[in-house]
């Protein structure tokens, strides 16, 4: 541990693709667990890096609000348009009302009812990758399974799945910001049409639920339905995609751990939890203080932005034994990768099942996976993990 403070650059996207954020988080946990970042392109904000502090702040939704946005964004961009309107960007009681509309779709019983279809999707994706031989594990495998599953749940016709795959690849991938923006607008346009169709002729799907729902005796506005559809699409795909790919990169870097699960399939559930902890794909979550608070002697004022660095919490040495070791046998594993408190990830069960089915399909069929080039990591402070992961896949 260095005696002097390192240069803290947690708001620099290149830190996550070419640097070592864990060294900075380690120093902050030990020396400055409530750290103030001066405003620059981003507004000033407080950083929380310790597990217990982040868990406590998650729990205290009355002090730390989600309604003003949950991600850092340049001040010039203005407030998040979903603030106060979407499931992720609302506080009680609105959050509970919106969550109640769709909660049942993500319950254990509902996810288990979909498991056969999900297994078929995973099998089809793996078959396609095996036919290709060499592929990008991110785009050709990890991205497709969660997207196809959430499309199925949202009532997107199967004929449109590939279209949404192309749009989400452009909207949430790297590349030109203007291209990403236009692709995202196309996604919103797609859901504008779909929600109108479902409002007129509802089916048994999530978009129909939202398009016909009432909260406090009033129907959700079309704009609110569209924003919540976008929220469900992103929430149901982005982090699982990167976790699945980041997990495979971790297994390639730690082949003994892959072999351990191959030798003992009973380790598959704990290996999924370790993948979630190790990858911690949601790099940060933000809250806005709505009343003064004090943490470790630092006074946080109403209106201050407070950022939770989840990968740091999941490597906290006071909570996890040997936190910098990737261990599929780790137990207990109370990571915060899927949030905590009333905003605990709605799709947590779905994500776990998707990861288990993907890795189980690969392991059960004895698929041999080898690196086929240098992976490229994302330049982002929002999500971290592989942008590309070239591999060779051969049937066992």
H-assigned helices in the chain: 14-18, 21-31, 51-59, 94-102, 108-113, 115-132, 144-154, 161-172, 177-200, 206-212, 222-253, 255-263, 268-279, 310-313, 348-364
Cα–Cα dist 219/233, whole Å: 21
pLDDT at 180: 86
Q: Per-domain residue ranges for the chain?
A: 14-394
Query: Would you write out the chain's pLDDT as a tens digit for each of its 396 residues?
Result: 445 789 999 999 999 999 999 999 999 999 999 999 999 999 999 999 999 999 999 999 999 999 999 999 998 888 999 999 999 999 999 999 999 999 999 999 999 999 999 999 999 999 999 999 999 999 999 999 999 999 999 999 999 999 999 999 888 776 678 888 899 999 999 999 999 999 999 999 999 999 999 999 999 999 999 999 999 999 899 999 999 999 999 999 999 999 999 999 999 999 999 999 999 999 999 999 999 999 999 999 999 999 999 999 999 999 999 999 999 999 999 999 999 999 999 999 999 999 999 999 999 999 999 999 999 999 999 999 999 999 999 998
Residue 228 has phi, psi (to 5 degrees) of -70, -35
Domain 14-394 sits in CATH at 1.10.630.10
Q: How far is CA 68 from CA 113, 305, 315, in A?
A: 36, 9, 28
- d(Cα 106, Cα 101) in Å, to the nearest integer? 11
In terms of C-beta density within 10 A (0-12 exposed, 13-18 middle, 19 or more buried), how is residue 366 classed?
A: exposed
Q: What percent of the chain has pLDDT over 90?
A: 93
| Complete edge-to-edge strand list for the sheet that includes strand 390-394 | 134-136, 390-394, 368-371
Instruction: Give the residues across from 135 on adjacent strands.
Output: 391
User: What pLDDT is attached to residue 2?
Assistant: 47
Please tell me whether the overall predicted TM-score, pTM, comes out greater than 0.85 for this model.
yes
pLDDT given for residue 1 in this prediction: 43
Cβ neighbours of residue 290 under 8 Å, at least 6 residues apart?
62, 63, 64, 65, 302, 303
The count of other CB atoms within 10 Å of the CB of residue 114 is: 16
The answer to whether the peptide bond before residue 84 is cis (omega within 30 degrees of 0) is no
For residue 172, what pLDDT is reported? Answer: 78
């Amino acid at each position: 541990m260095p005696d002097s403070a390192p240069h803290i650059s947690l708001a620099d996207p290149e830190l996550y693709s070419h640097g070592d954020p864990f060294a900075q988080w380690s120093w902050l946990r030990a020396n400055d667990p409530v750290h103030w970042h001066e405003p620059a392109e981003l507004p000033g904000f407080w950083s929380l890096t310790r597990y217990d502090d982040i868990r406590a702040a998650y729990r205290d939704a009355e002090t730390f609000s989600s309604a003003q946005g949950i991600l850092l964004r340049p001040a010039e961009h203005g407030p998040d348009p979903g603030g106060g309107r979407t499931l992720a960007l609302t506080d009680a009681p609105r959050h509970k009302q919106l969550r109640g509309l769709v909660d049942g779709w993500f319950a254990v019983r509902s996810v288990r009812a979909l498991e056969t279809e999900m297994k078929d999707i995973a099998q089809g994706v793996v078959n396609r990758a095996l036919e290709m031989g060499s592929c990008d594990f991110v785009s050709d495998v990890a991205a497709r399974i969660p997207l196809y599953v959430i499309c199925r749940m949202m009532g997107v016709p199967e004929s449109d799945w590939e279209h949404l795959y192309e749009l989400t690849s452009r909207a949430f991938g790297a590349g030109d910001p203007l291209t990403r923006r236009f692709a995202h607008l196309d996604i919103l346009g797609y859901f504008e049409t779909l929600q109108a169709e479902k409002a007129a002729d509802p089916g048994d799907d999530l978009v129909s639920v939202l398009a016909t729902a009432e909260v406090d005796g009033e129907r959700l506005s079309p704009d609110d339905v569209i924003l919540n559809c976008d929220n469900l699409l992103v929430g149901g795909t982005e982090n699982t995609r990167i976790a699945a790919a980041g997990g495979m990169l971790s297994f390639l870097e730690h082949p003994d751990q892959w072999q351990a699960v191959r030798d003992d399939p009973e380790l598959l559930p704990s290996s999924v939890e370790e993948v979630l902890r190790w990858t911690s794909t949601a790099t940060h979550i933000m809250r806005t203080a709505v009343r003064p608070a004090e943490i470790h002697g630092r006074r946080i004022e109403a209106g201050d932005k407070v950022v939770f660095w989840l990968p740091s919490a999941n490597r906290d040495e006071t909570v996890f034994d040997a936190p910098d070791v990737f261990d599929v046998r780790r137990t207990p594993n109370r990571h915060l990768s899927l949030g905590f408190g009333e905003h605990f990830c709605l799709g947590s069960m779905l994500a776990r099942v998707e990861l288990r089915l993907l890795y189980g399909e690969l392991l059960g069929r004895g698929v041999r996976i080898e690196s086929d080039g240098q992976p490229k990591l994302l330049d982002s402070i929002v999500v971290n993990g592989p942008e590309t992961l070239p591999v060779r896949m051969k049937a066992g």
